[in-house]
Amino acid sequence: MSLKTYHSKRNNRITPEPWRDGGNASGRTFVVQKHAASRLHYDFRLELGGVLKSWALPKGLPFKHGEKHLAVHVEDHPRSYGDFEGSIPKGQYGGGTVMLWDRGTYKPLSRSPLKDLEAGKLHVELRGEKLSGEWALVRMRGKGDDWLIIRSDEDLRPVSARANDCSVKTGFTMRQLERGAPTKKRTATGRGRASSGSKGEYPPFIEVMKALTVEHPPAGDWFYEIKFDGWRALALCGLEKVKIMSRNHKDMTDLFPDVADALESQGLGDSILDGEIVALDSQGRSSFQLLQAYRLATESPALFYYVFDLPRYKGRDLRDRPVEVRKEMLREIIPGAGEVVRFSDSLGSNYRKLRNHAKALNLEGLIGKRGGSLYESGRRSGAWIKIKIIHEQELVIAGYTDPQGSRSGFGAILLGYYKQGRLISAGKVGTGFSDALLDSLSARFRRMSRGTMPYADAKNLTPAELRSAHWVKPEMVAQVRFKEWTSDGRLRQPVFLGLREDKSPRDVVREDLG
C-alpha cells in the first residue's frame, strides 16, 4: 500500500494535490472526482488498506443493471485526496480541474475485500450523496490495469444535468472551479446517509460509566455480563436519525452505518443506548483484531452492537434508576431492532462458575455490576467492576523504532501508561502488524512527530532503544495482548491488536491482572 508511485508522478512544489496522508482513518469512505484532464473522465476511489484504491472511469459509473464500463486501475492515492478539489497546473501529471463529484461510505459485500481486490473481483455497496446501490469491479483477463465496473443492483435513476455539474463539497460547477471560485461549504442533501445533523436533533452526549479493574469481586450483591473485546459506543437516538458516538466524543456513524440504520426504525427518539460494537470470529467470540481489520477495510467481518444499558429513554433521564430497572426496560426495546443490535443479558451471579466457563471459552473477561447501582456518568466508582481473564492492556503510543530487514514502516511501537499524570514506559511491541496496518500507522506517526521524549519515566528502555526511537505526540491508544508484566515494568510477549479509537490517552492506566 505504498504511495511511492503517487509521489513519483507529482512535483509537490507545483501541484496543489495532497502530499501527505492527512485523511481520517474511517476505513469505509469512497469518493468520485470529475476530472477535466486531457480527456474528461471520473476517478473512482475506495478507502482500502489505509489508502485510496483508484480507478479512472472514461464513461463514469454505469447506472443500468448489468451495464459495464471500463475502469483503468491507477496508483494508490493518500486518503487526504478524498477531500481534494481544485486545478492541477497544465503540464503536470493529470493537469486540469478536479471536482469532488460524490462522496460517502461503502460496505464491502464479502469477508475479505483486500484479498478480493488482489484476486481481481470486488463487490461493494455505495451510500453517497448522488450514488447508491451495488457495483462490482472485475479485472479483465490478461489486461493488466484494465478492469470493468458493473452495476450489479437494480437500475439507478441517472443524476440530473444540474447535479452532474455540481460539487458535493462547494456546490460549484466545473467552470467556476476552473476560474478559481472561492471555497465555501455545502450541505449534503444526496441519496445516501445524511450528515450528523443540526444542534438539538440528538439528545445531549453523556460521559459513560466506567468499570474498575479488580482481581476478585468484593462482597455484595453482584451479577455478571460478558466483557466484550470491542469499541464502547453510545447510540444517540434523535427523532429520525441515530448518531453513533465513541466514549471520547468521536462520531462513528459513518464507520458503523448498519448499526445506526437498525436503530432508526425503532422510534427511540430522544434516547441514549450504551453498549459495545464488536466483530465476531468464526467461533462467535468478539475479536479486537477483526474490528481493526474492519476499520482498515482489509476484512469485512460480522458486526454487532451489544447494548447493556439505557441511561435515557424518550426524554427521561434514567441514570438515577437501579440498573435492574434500566436493563428490564432495555430488554423490551432491543428485540425489535434486528440482528445487528443485540441485548447483552446478565449471565447470573455465580462468579466462580462463570469465570471458569469464560476461561474455557477463551473470553476476555467478565463485567460485574452491583445490584441496585445507578448510572454514574464519567465515574469509576466501583459499582461496575472489570475482571480480566485474557491478559490485554490499553497503552499509549509514545514512539516507534526503525524497521529491520525487509520490513517497511517501523520496527516496533513504544508504549506507556499514565500514573499520577506522568507517562511511564511499558516497553515495546513489534508483532501483530499487517502490511496495511504498517503503512497506515506510519503515515499517522509522521503527522504526529515530536522532537522530545514524552515519557516522564523510561528507565526500563535500553540505551539502544532510546537512541533508535522516534517520538510522537502521545495521542493514540493501542490494544495489546501479552503474557505478563516483567519485574521492571515491561510487557512480556506482547502482540499488537489494534488502535482504541474510542479511548482517550489520559484515561490509560496500568491494569494489574486478576
CB of 129 closer than 8 Å to CB of 51 = no
Calculate Rg over the CA atoms of the chain: 24
Residue 486 φ/ψ region, left for φ over 0, alpha for ψ in the -120 to 50 degree band, beta for the rest: beta
Give pLDDT, residue 381. 95
Residue 6 Cα distances to 11, 20, 156, 477, angstroms: 10, 11, 33, 30
Q: Which stretches of 99-164 are DSSP H helices?
A: 113-119, 161-164
Q: For residue 273, what are the contacts with CB-CB under 8 A and spacing of at least 6?
A: 234, 235, 237, 263, 307, 309, 310, 330
For residue 320, the Cα-to-chain-centroid distance in whole angstroms is 32
Give pLDDT, residue 191. 42
Alpha carbons 137 and 123: distance in angstroms, whole number: 6
DSSP letter (8 states) at residue 388: E
Phi, psi of 329 (to 5 degrees): -65, -40
Q: For residue 116, what are the contacts with CB-CB under 8 A and spacing of at least 6?
A: 108, 110, 122, 123
Give pLDDT, residue 266. 85
Give pLDDT, residue 404. 84
Give pLDDT, residue 40. 95
Alpha carbons 384 and 51: distance in angstroms, whole number: 40
Burial of 282 (0-12, 13-18, 19+ CB in 10 A): exposed
Q: Which among 457, 513, 461 is positioned nearest to 484, based on CA atoms?
A: 513
Q: Report angle CA 368, 372, 378 to the nearest 5 degrees.
A: 65
Query: Is 227 one of the catalytic residues?
Result: yes
CB of 374 closer than 8 Å to CB of 322 = yes
Give pLDDT, residue 1. 53
Q: Where are the domains of the chain?
A: 4-178, 212-388, 392-507
Encoded amino acid at 6, one letter: Y
CB of 307 closer than 8 Å to CB of 336 = no
Residue 60 Cα distances to 43, 158, 270, angstroms: 8, 11, 41
- Considering 227, 241, 327, 388, which one is annotated as catalytic? 227
Give pLDDT, residue 236. 97
CATH of range 212-388; options 3.30.470.30, 3.40.640.10, 3.90.380.10, 3.50.50.60? 3.30.470.30
Q: For residue 394, what are the contacts with CB-CB under 8 A and spacing of at least 6?
A: 477, 478, 479, 480, 500, 503, 508, 511
Long-range Cβ pairs for the range 142-148 (8 Å, 24+): 145/72, 145/73, 145/74, 146/70, 146/71, 146/72, 146/73, 147/55, 147/70, 147/71, 147/72, 147/73, 147/120, 148/68, 148/69, 148/70, 148/71
Give pLDDT, residue 240. 86
Q: Which among 460, 452, 446, 458 is positioned nearest to 488, based on CA atoms?
A: 460
CB of 209 closer than 8 Å to CB of 374 = no
Alpha carbons 66 and 150: distance in angstroms, whole number: 6
Q: Which among 446, 447, 451 is positioned nearest to 471, based on CA atoms?
A: 451
Give pLDDT, residue 192. 46
Give pLDDT, residue 200. 54
Quick one: fold of 392-507?
OB fold (Dihydrolipoamide Acetyltransferase, E2P) (2.40.50)
Which cell numbers in the block locate residue 285?
467470540
Residue 487 Cα distances to 214, 352, 484, 492, 496, angstroms: 20, 29, 10, 10, 21
Burial 10-36 (b: 16+ CB within 10 A, else e): beeeebebbbebebebbbbbbbbbbbb
Give pLDDT, residue 54. 97
Q: For residue 468, what are the contacts with CB-CB under 8 A and spacing of at least 6?
A: 401, 402, 411
Alpha carbons 42 and 37: distance in angstroms, whole number: 10
Give pLDDT, residue 183. 46
Burial 118-156 (b: 16+ CB within 10 A, else e): eeeebbbbbbbbbbbbbbbbebeeeeeeebebbbbbeeb
For residue 367, the Cα-to-chain-centroid distance in whole angstroms is 24
E-assigned strands of 109-230?
121-128, 132-139, 146-151, 212-213, 222-227
CB of 159 closer than 8 Å to CB of 133 = no
Alpha carbons 258 and 269: distance in angstroms, whole number: 18
Which portions of the chain are predicted below pLDDT 50? 183-199, 514
